[in-house]
Amino acid sequence: MPKKKNKVDKGKYGIYFVIPYFVTFLLFSLYPVIYTLIISLKKWDGMSVNQTFVGFKNYVTLIHDALFYQSIVNTLIMWICGVVPQMIFALLLAVLFNSAKKIKGKEFFRAAMYLPNLITPSAVAVLFVFLFDWQTGAVNKILLNLHVINEPINWLLSEYASRGIMSLVSWWMWFGYSTIIFGAGLNNIPAELYESASIDGATPWQSFKSVTMPLLKPTVLFAAVTSLIGGMQTFEIPYVMTGGQGGPNNKTLTVVMYLYNTAFQNSNYGYGAAIGYGLFILILVFSIITFKFINRNTEND
């Protein structure tokens, strides 16, 4: 009888290759989450050895905290005003680039649009602070020279203008990223579907509505959820532009800014941890709502 060859179990050593990942996950992901939960049940200033267990008192306080709800409203307003127009504009650009195959320098324009996303948010915030400075800013100078306004406007001290500027910063930073994401989704749609629609007499708008959007909805869902998560975690731009105060009248105070000020400025780590878990629940709820909304429309199509 021929000798059987010893078979090498290729999966035998696989566990050794995934151990580093699990160790990293436990140390830098799971442990901080559990530790934050423990801290949220205590009263601690971050410096003293003594940590007083208070149970769910921090969460009860959070539920009745008007400033926390104000920060949620601020964050959502700036997210809606910044991200929704940005995604619409990015989708239009992606469709334009995808349909116009012979645009010269198309790759250059794509790269140029993505450049703002490579700049750190704090640097972008400083740039826009200089642009909208009421004394020396370029925006006021241009508007004064065009006789649009009669005197300089203190943009960052206006409740509505300050929110609008921060939404504009978010729009400028991320529309290039969204354009590339939508462009990748459009490239995965088979050209045969558009040819069939054209043969059936469909107009460009009908093709966009009946072919492009239904097949692009997974990409739209991805972009919407990731932008929601990023938007709810907005911190650097409003913090730098308002000097960490969230002014005027707390109208630009975001949830993460409130968390940072509570934990690190006011040395209330327990309540700051509770705010962090409140933010986690908010992101989870809004992500589920977004997913259900887009998924429902996909099923209807």
The per-residue pLDDT for range 169-204, each reduced to its tens digit, is 988 988 889 999 998 899 888 888 888 888 888 888
The residue type at 226:
T
State the pLDDT at residue 278.
94
Tokens of residue 206, six digits: 């009908």
Mean predicted confidence (pLDDT) in 38-59: 90
CA gap 22, 11 in Å, rounded: 17
Query: With b meaning 16 or more CB within 10 Å and e meaning fewer, what string describes 44-67?
Result: beeeeeebeebeebbbeebeebee
Q: Which residue has the tokens 């400075």?
A: 133
Q: Mean per-residue pLDDT for 215-224?
A: 88
Task: Give residue limits of the domains in the chain.
Answer: 45-300
pLDDT at residue 224, as a whole number: 86
Mean pLDDT of 143-154: 91
pLDDT band at 5 (very low <50, low <70, confident <90, very high): low
User: In this predicted structure, what is the pLDDT of residue 7?
Assistant: 57
Tokens of 88: 């619409």
The pLDDT value given to residue 286: 86
Nearest partner of 60 among 46, 84, 41, judged by Cα? 41
CA 274 to mean position of chain CA atoms: 21
- DSSP class per residue in 160-219: HHHHHHHHHHHHHHHHHHHHHHHHHHHHTS-HHHHHHHHHTT--HHHHIIIIIHHHHHHH
pLDDT at 56 over 90: yes
Is 9's pLDDT higher than 70? no
| Reported CATH class of domain 45-300 | mainly alpha
Q: What is the mean pLDDT of residues 142-159?
A: 91
